[in-house]
Structure 1
Amino acid sequence: MVNSLIILLFAFSFFKPKTRRDWRTFGTFAAFVVALFTEMYGFPLTIYLLSGWLTSRFPEINWFSHQSSHLLQTLLGWQGDAHFSPLHILSNILIFGGLILLAMSWKVLYRAQRNLEIARTGPYAKIRHPQYTAFIVIMVGFLV
């Protein structure tokens, strides 16, 4: 939190928002900085704070090893290489499927925009917002 505040004060010293639009832009930047530092420090700090409890509950596991970072596999008690587990394979399928859907959507949208038409073919024939759907599928793939 302190690092976020330092970065925001540094940015504020240069930017100095005056209008409502400037404040909205600075607020968006502030939200990004807070999210960035939460991601960068939040997860490792959470693991560090939970390591005592996790170590006492699962003493045979080294919580700081790469193999233990596949949390669902570890908590489910699955053995073997986590990179070949059903969860990891599902994750890869979701990520690549989302990327393929995104590429198909962009191709159709680019063609429609170039011809000054509404996108109605490809993924747009079945899904109202295939780009949003693709990003959601990719994020779910990363979360699995």
Structure 2
Amino acid sequence: MNVPAYGLWSLVIINSLVFIIFAFSFTKPNSPRDWRSFGAFSAFIVALFTEMYGFPLTIYLLSGWLQSRFPQLDIFSHESGHLWHTLLGWEGNPHLDPLHILSNVLIVVGFILIASAWRILYAAQQRHQLAVNGLYARVRHPQYDGFVLIMLGFLLQWPTILTLLMFPVLVWMYTRLALQEDREMHHEFGEDYLRYAVRTPVFIPHLRKKAQRG
């Protein structure tokens, strides 16, 4: 008896809720701006798992081209949903290919960044202080780095037309949100935040301090 590859709507709901609840628990959106960003991330997650387990819209739209290029391929099997694996002509279990392994690493690192950053931020907020230790000593917005890594990981694992289009929009939204938070922190902490911002990049850590010590 063949196990169906799609139409597994219970898995769509369960997986979507896990990621959305996780995101909500660490972001706790308050302002309309926060809710828009959270809503966009939630839409990305729902779109992803809908195609992964529910209805493979991307595979359906590309079915004619895929069938002509890969005539021996069962394009509606679950393995074929790993499009990078298919398009690169790799064989074997797609869950063990380099991109899938890298995607898992990115997703796990993203989770760790979000959880670790939240603990530091929460402790600083309780003391009404700037979060400048741990991950916040390397970048000003490690939580947003974590969300971007999770989305990038899923794009490497299971790309879809919709999520590929949504990804740059979400990166843009997180960038705007980070810059707005920078302005709010400057207003609240003044020169202390300016000094912190001068020595700490927004998203991408640099090796300047290590280079100076060397």
TM beyond 0.5: yes
Q: 1:50 offset after TM fit, Å?
A: 2.2
TM-score normalized by the length of structure 1: 0.69
Match of 1:3 in 2: none
1:132 partnered with 2:126: no
Distance 1:70 1:46, change over 3 A: closer
Superposed, which structure 2 residues align to 1:50-65 within 5 Å? 50-65=62-77
Q: Which residue identity is paired with 1:116? A: H
Q: Deviations over 1:78-101 (max 9, x none)?
A: 111111111111000000001101
Q: Deviations over 1:15-47 (max 9, x none)?
A: xxxxxxxxx9xxx6xx97xx68x9358x73342
Match of 2:61 in 1: 49
Q: Give the ranges of 4+ consecutive aligned residues of structure 1 lying more than 4 Å apart after TM superposition.
A: none
Superposed, which structure 2 residues align to 1:1-144 within 5 Å? 39=47, 40=50, 44-144=56-156
Match of 1:19 in 2: none
Percent identity reads: 56
Structure index of larger Rg: 1
Q: 1:116 offset after TM fit, Å?
A: 1.0
Matched residues, number: 112
CA–CA distance in structure 2, aligned partners of residues 93 and 46 of structure 1: 25
Which secondary structure does the structure 1 equivalent of 2:56 belong to?
helix
Q: 1:58 offset after TM fit, Å?
A: 1.1
Which secondary structure does the structure 2 equivalent of 1:111 belong to?
helix
Match of 1:16 in 2: none
Structure 2 residues without counterparts, runs of 5 or longer: 1-31, 157-214
Alignment root-mean-square deviation, CA:
2.4
TM-score normalized by the length of structure 2: 0.48
CA–CA distance in structure 2, aligned partners of residues 49 and 94 of structure 1: 28
Q: Deviations over 1:88-121 (max 9, x none)?
A: 1100000000110111100000100111111000
CA–CA distance in structure 2, aligned partners of residues 136 and 49 of structure 1: 26
